[in-house]
C-alpha cells in the first residue's frame, strides 16, 4: 500500500472506532427513549446532513471521530423537568447504561475484528516453539548471525523444546561464550554467542516468533472473545504497573498512533487490522478508567448517585469534568510534543 493510501486508511480506522463508540451511546439512548438531537461523523462545521425522525445525521468538516448530542445531557442545557425524554430526567441506571454503552461498543468491535481475522486471513499469536523472532539491533543475537525464523535446538549442549525453555537456558549463561545448535532451512548450524550480562541474567536480544492462526467461524468467535479478554487483561495490568510506578510509562499520542497504523497498513491487512483490534481494546479500557471528562469519570458520579440515591451537585460535577478535560488535553499535548514528535525528528 502506498503511503498516501496508508494515511487515509489510518485516519478512517481511528475515525470509525470513535464513531462506533458514539454509536453505542446513540443506540442505548434510543433504546431508553431518550431524544437524540444529532449524530455527527466528524467535528466542526456541518458539511452535509439529513434528518431521520427527530435526529439529524451529519458529516462535519474535521473527519476525526464524531459525537452524539442527547437532549439534556450537555452542561448548561435548559431542561424542562417535565420532559421525560431528556437525559437529565432519566433514572441514574439508565444514564449509567448509556455512558457504559460507548466503551462496550469498542469491546464488542474488538471481539468481532479478532473473530473476523481468525476466520479469514488469520491473526498472529506467539509461537510456542523455540524459534527466533524479531532481532534487537546491537545485541548478541544479531552479532552472532541469528536470523528470524531460526529454530534453536540446543543451548550449550542442552536441548530446548519450547520458547520458554530457550529463554530460561539462555538466561543461565550471562557473559559466557556458548554454542547454539540452530536449524535453518533444513540445515543445521553451530553458532557461538555470548549472552549479555544483565544483572546476572543472560540476554541475547530477540523476540518470540509469531505464527498466523486461523479458525472456523464458530471457533473464531470463541477465540476472538478469549484473545480480546486476554489482551484487555494485559492492558489493565500495564496501566496498573504504570500508575503504581512498577512499570515505565510508554505513551503514544495521536501522532504516534497514526504512525503505527500507517506502518501497519503498509505491511499488509493482517498487521493493520491487528493494530485496529488493539486500539479498540485500548479505547474501551481508557474510557472506563475513573478519569474526569472520560466515560469512566461520569460512571463514577452515576454509581455514587445510584448508591446514595442523591444526585451530585451539577456545578461541582461540571467543574470536575472541565478540570479533567484540561488535564487530559495537556497530557495529550505533552505526549505528542515530547514523545511522538521528539521520536519523529530523532531528538
Which are the catalytic amino acids? 22
Give the count of beta carbons closer than 10 Å to the beta carbon of residue 129. 15
- DSSP code, position 161: -
Are 29 and 87 in contact by the 8 Å Cβ rule? The answer is yes
Are 284 and 107 in contact by the 8 Å Cβ rule? The answer is yes
**Which of 315, 323, 254, 262 minimizes the C-alpha distance to 283?**
254
CA distance 104 to 295: 11
Residue with cell 530477540: 206
Helix intervals (H) in the chain: 3-31, 92-119, 140-144, 163-171, 217-244, 254-267, 269-288, 295-308, 314-335, 341-344
Amino acid at each position: 500500500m502506498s503511503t498516501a493510501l496508508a494515511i487515509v486508511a489510518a485516519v478512517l480506522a481511528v475515525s470509525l472506532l470513535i464513531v462506533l463508540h458514539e454509536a453505542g451511546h446513540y443506540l442505548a439512548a434510543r433504546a431508553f427513549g431518550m431524544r437524540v438531537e444529532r449524530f455527527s461523523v466528524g467535528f466542526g462545521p456541518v458539511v452535509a446532513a439529513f434528518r431521520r425522525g427527530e435526529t439529524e445525521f451529519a458529516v462535519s468538516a474535521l473527519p476525526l471521530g464524531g459525537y452524539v448530542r442527547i437532549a439534556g445531557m450537555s452542561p448548561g442545557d435548559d431542561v424542562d423537568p417535565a420532559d421525560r425524554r431528556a437525559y437529565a430526567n432519566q433514572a441514574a441506571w439508565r444514564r449509567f447504561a448509556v455512558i457504559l454503552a460507548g466503551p462496550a461498543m469498542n469491546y464488542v468491535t474488538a471481539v468481532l475484528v479478532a473473530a473476523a481475522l481468525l476466520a479469514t486471513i488469520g491473526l498472529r499469536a506467539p509461537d510456542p516453539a523455540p524459534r527466533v523472532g524479531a532481532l534487537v539491533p546491537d545485541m548478541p543475537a544479531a552479532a552472532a548471525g541469528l536470523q528470524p525464523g531460526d529454530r534453536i535446538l540446543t543451548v550449550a549442549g542442552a536441548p530446548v523444546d519450547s520458547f520458554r525453555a530457550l529463554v530460561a537456558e539462555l538466561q543461565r549463561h550471562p557473559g559466557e561464550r556458548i554454542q547454539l545448535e540452530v536449524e535453518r532451512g533444513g540445515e543445521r548450524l553451530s553458532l557461538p554467542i555470548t549472552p549479555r550480562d544483565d544483572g546476572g541474567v543472560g540476554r541475547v536480544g530477540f523476540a518470540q516468533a509469531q505464527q498466523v492462526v486461523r479458525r472456523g467461524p464458530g471457533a473464531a468467535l470463541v477465540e476472538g472473545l478469549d484473545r480480546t479478554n486476554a489482551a484487555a487483561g494485559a492492558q489493565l495490568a500495564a496501566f496498573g504497573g504504570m500508575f503504581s510506578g512498577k512499570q515505565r510509562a510508554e505513551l503514544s499520542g495521536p501522532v504516534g498512533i497514526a504512525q503505527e497504523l500507517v506502518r501497519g497498513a503498509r505491511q499488509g491487512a493482517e498487521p493493520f487490522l491487528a493494530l485496529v483490534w488493539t486500539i479498540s481494546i485500548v479505547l474501551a479500557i481508557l474510557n472506563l478508567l475513573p478519569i474526569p471528562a472520560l466515560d469512566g469519570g461520569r460512571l463514577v458520579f452515576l454509581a455514587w448517585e445510584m448508591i446514595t440515591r442523591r444526585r451530585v451537585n451539577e456545578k461541582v460535577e461540571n467543574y470536575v469534568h472541565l478540570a479533567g478535560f484540561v488535564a487530559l488535553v495537556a497530557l495529550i499535548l505533552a505526549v505528542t510534543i515530547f514523545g511522538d514528535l521528539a521520536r519523529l525528528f530523532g531528538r
